[in-house]
Structure 1
Amino acid sequence: MYRRTFIASLSMFGLTGCGAGIGMQSAPRPQMERSYALRGFNFSAQAGLVASESASYYPNADIVWRGDPIGPRIPQIEAMFQDAASRNRLVLEDGFPIAVDVTLVRFHGVTNRTRYTVGGVYNVIFDMTVRSAETGEVIEPTRRVVGNLDAPGGERAVRLEQSGQTEKVRVTDFLTSLLRAQLI
């Protein structure tokens, strides 16, 4: 009985704890016709972002990522964004040539402890500006983009991992679709 109550409490903590950015919504996209050819992608991170390697259920940090070995987290996250942009270059190839500037504000995944128990949410927040690839002129002013991806826990997380759906695969696929949704 006590164990069930404890696990239920952790589930609620995980769902509310991972939610620092969950209640946020993306800024509305400008109403306009879009036909873009993605030609450039620039990634940066807001100054002062704090990364955590804590094994707690919910580290109090801007960056929590466990899908790569321990190391500099911002370059690891940038690599996923660059992969997502490269995939979108293959799809967004006909239209007005653009460059996209992304500034990372928050990238809060789940720790291994959370992943292998209750699960949670990958919360990704970034500012995005769309510019002309040729002149640099701003086409779509900077807006905040918020994305949340379910982070399965326990046996479901293990099954996904075993089937090749690693954290990195799932999050890179998610970033690909999140970027595409902002540009079509």
Structure 2
Amino acid sequence: MKSLLKAGAAVLLAVSLSACASTGPASRAAMPDDTALGFVQPDYMIDSFTVSVPQSLVVNERNTYYPRGDIVWRGDPLGDRHGQVKAMFETALRNAAPHVQGTRPVRVDVQVTRFHALSEKARYTVGGVHDISFKMRLVDIETGQQIGATKDVDADLDALEGQSAIAADARGETQKQRLIAHLAQVMTNELTVPGGHVNAKLGLLQLINDI
């Protein structure tokens, strides 16, 4: 029944796009102590970080084209998906740290809200979009106070598909490596670019993911 509803939603969305309708981003609850972020040149240095992947996020292991759930991840052996996602974000933050060379040391707190990569069936056929989102806040190391707002970050990535995915696997460019590199760049952008990371526009499949 859910598959039929999603298919119907996709058709309605396609029709609305043809009529030049626009779709706004989904709103998500923020962590405490929010204030407005200014679009000024960041001057941060990553002193430390924390990553949280709440157990309330639902994992789906079904090998369908679009498994419903908050976490869909097949780039590691079957196991603790929450822990695997956490480890990827931690690696990405470690990789980003050398590229964030400001003067104000901060702790970066990340709370993952969605990590929907591709099932095997989708990756080796039709492809799709890695649908990733998280909350991020900065804490001043010297004062212990939060800096600005807790930010909802969307970090979607166009997924490889079919023969492109098979060729990437053959040359050692795994889905995991690609996503960690992407997340490291997102973190770097958030901490070095005014306004932070800008989510890519990836078309119809990306919009369907937000339904």
* TM tier, smaller: 0.7 to 0.9
The aligned counterpart of 1:120 is: 128
What SS is found at the alignment partner of 1:61? coil
1:49-74 CA distance string (max 9 Å, x none): 10011111111100000110011011
CA contact (8 A) 2:53 2:85 kept: no
The aligned counterpart of 2:69 is: 61
TM-score of the superposition, structure 2-length normalised?
Answer: 0.73
Cα gap change, 1:46 to 1:23, in 2 (>3 Å): farther
CA contact (8 A) 1:125 1:146 kept: yes
The aligned counterpart of 1:129 is: 137
**What does 1:79-158 align with in structure 2 at a 5 Å threshold?**
79-158=87-166
Would you identify which runs of 4 or more consecutive aligned residues in structure 1 move more than 4 Å?
A: 25-29
Q: Which amino acid counterpart does residue 55 of structure 1 have in structure 2?
A: N
How far did residue 135 of structure 1 move?
A: 2.4
Distance 1:76 1:23 in 2: 31
More strand by share: 1
Distance 1:160 1:124 in 2: 21
CA contact (8 A) 2:124 2:161 kept: yes
Match of 1:34 among 42, 55, 60: 42
Distance 2:92 2:57 in 1: 22
TM-score of the superposition, structure 1-length normalised?
Answer: 0.83
1:116-151 CA distance string (max 9 Å, x none): 101111111101101112322111310100011111
The aligned counterpart of 1:44 is: 52
Report the aligned-residue RMSD: 2.2
Distance 1:120 1:26 in 2: 22
Q: Percent sequence identity over matched residues?
A: 36
Cα gap change, 1:89 to 1:25, in 2 (>3 Å): farther
Cα gap change, 1:38 to 1:61, in 2 (>3 Å): same
The aligned counterpart of 1:75 is: 83
Q: How many residues align?
A: 166
**What does 1:164-175 align with in structure 2 at a 5 Å threshold?**
164-175=172-183
CA contact (8 A) 1:25 1:145 kept: no
Q: Which amino acid counterpart does residue 99 of structure 2 have in structure 1?
A: V
